Amino acid sequence: MRKSEQAITTIEQLDRPRCLERWREAFGRPPPKHLSPQFMKRVLIWELQNKELGRLSVKTARRLQHIASGKTPLVKAKPGSHLVREWNGRTYQVEVIDGGYVLDGKTWRSLSAIAKHITGAHWSGPRFFGVQ
């Protein structure tokens, strides 16, 4: 059995008091209250794997945080792309072109202007359409 497999087996066999102790060793503080031993073991194994295999890049960690928050993942809009947004029962489709955007045959210089046209209020166009 490899060292990492042995370490995982050891973590899987921990009782609650030993899980709490290992958590403090790994993270330098006690775990949040009411975590089950099973959940703590999964996190401890994940931390062990991170140390052995390398952590996520900062960019990947930010992207995962953004996704976990329930927000639409941000993407870059490239010419030829179509952005779709439903608002008050109507679906709007915007085509991205060099230097602007096209909605209903009219060319716009910014997504924010389109968002204001659609909603009647000031919006961040990129946020409204879920792009950067």
Task: Find the length of the chain.
Answer: 132
Residue closest to 23 by CA, chosen among 52, 15, 65: 15
Interior CA angle at 49 toward 43 and 53, to 5°? 150
Q: Would the pLDDT of 54 be above 70?
A: yes
Give the pLDDT band (50/70/90) at residue 72.
low
Secondary structure class of 74 (helix, strand, coil) = coil
Q: What is the mean pLDDT of the chain?
A: 88
Q: pLDDT above 90 covers what percent of the chain?
A: 55
Tell me how far apart the alpha carbons of residues 36 and 57 are, in angstroms, rounded to a whole number: 29
Residue identified by tokens 């401890």 is: 44
CB 91 within 8 A of CB 85: yes
DSSP 8-state symbol, 65: H
Q: pLDDT tens across 27-43, in order?
A: 899 988 888 999 999 99
Report, as an integer, the average pLDDT of 105-131.
Answer: 93
